[in-house]
Amino acid sequence: MMKLHGFSSSNYYNVPKLAFLEKGIEFEEIQSYTGVSQDYKPEYLDKSPLGKVPALETPEGCISESRAILEYIERAYPQHSLLPETPFGIAKVQELSQFIELYFELVARRLIVNLLTGTQPDAVVLKEVEASLSKSVVALSKLSNFEQFAYGDQFGLADIAAILNLPVVRSVGKKFLGRDPLSEVPGLDDYCMRMEQRPHVQKIRADAAADMPDFMAHLKAIYGL
C-alpha cells in the first residue's frame, strides 16, 4: 500500500490525501512534521530532499512535490479521473491549479508565521502581499466563474488546488488586510461553501483540526515559536 508522509494540518500534504480519498484508493498515512535537518529526522531527506511535506512512498521509491505526486496518482490510478478528457481541458486544469498555488498560496504563505504566532507582519511585506493578491483576485475570475466546479462539470485537480490552497488567503486577508480578498471573486464564496459540504473535504478539515495542537507543539519544540 502507498505510504503518504506528512501531517494533516498541512495544505500541501492534503493535496494528494484528498486525491486518494476522492479516487477511493487505500493509502497509509505516516505522520512526519517539518523542520527536518541533519539533526532532526535526517532519514526523511531520502524521501523528500528538502525535507518538505508531502512525500509518497511507492513500491518503486519515493516522490516529493505535491504536483508530481498528483501526476503519479492520476496515472497509476486512472479510475475516478481528476482530469478532463481533452488535452486542452487538462492544460486548463493545470493552469488554474498552478495559478492558485503560485499567485495566491505562495503569496499568502509569506505571512503564515505571523498568522501562527499572532505577530504583526513586516509593513513592506504586507504591502507586497496586498498588491499581489489584489492583482490575482482580478485575474482569477478570467480563469473560472466557479459556477459548478473550478473547471468543467466534474470535480478535479483544480478543485483540490482551490479547496486546499485558498483558505490561507482568507485567513491572511481577514487578519492582516481587514478584508477577505476572495469574496471579490464572483462565485467563489458560494463555490467554497459547496465544496466544504463534500464528505472527503469534511474529513480533510476534521483531520486538520485534530492535528493542529500537535503541530503547534512541534513548532514550539523545534523552532521555539
Ligand X SMILES: N[C@@H](CCC(=O)N[C@@H](CS)C(=O)NCC(=O)O)C(=O)O
Q: Which is nearer to ligand X, 102 or 125 (CB)?
A: 102
Residue 163: closest CA among 4, 28, 22 = 22
Residues in the chain, overall count: 225
Is residue 10 at the binding interface for ligand X, with CB under 6 A as the rule? Answer: yes
Q: Which is nearer to ligand X, 12 or 104 (CB)?
A: 12
Is residue 52 at the binding interface for ligand X, with CB under 6 A as the rule? Answer: yes
41, 67, 175, 198: which one binds ligand X (CB under 6 A): 67
Contact 53, 7 (CB under 8 A): yes
Helix (H, G, I), strand (E, B) or coil at 209: helix
Q: Which is nearer to ligand X, 12 or 20 (CB)?
A: 12
Count of residues engaged in binding ligand X, rule: CB under 6 A: 11
Is residue 70 at the binding interface for ligand X, with CB under 6 A as the rule? Answer: no
Tell me the window of 52-60, 148-156, 158-166, 176-184 that interacts with ligand X (CB under 6 A). Answer: 52-60
Distance CA 152, CA 170 (A): 24
Residue 204: closest CA among 30, 1, 10 = 10
Is residue 66 at the binding interface for ligand X, with CB under 6 A as the rule? Answer: yes
Question: Minimum Å distance from CB 2 to ligand X?
Answer: 16
Is residue 11 at the binding interface for ligand X, with CB under 6 A as the rule? Answer: yes
Please give the distance of CA 124 from its chain centroid, rounded to a whole number.
Answer: 26
Tell me the window of 7-15, 91-99, 115-123, 136-144 that interacts with ligand X (CB under 6 A). Answer: 7-15
Q: What cell numbers appear for 199 in the block?
A: 464528505
Residue 111: closest CA among 134, 136, 130 = 130
What is the distance in angstroms between the CA of the first residue and the CA of the last residue of the chain?
35
29, 57, 65, 214: which one binds ligand X (CB under 6 A): 65
Q: Which residues bind ligand X (CB under 6 A)?
A: 10-12, 34, 51-54, 65-67
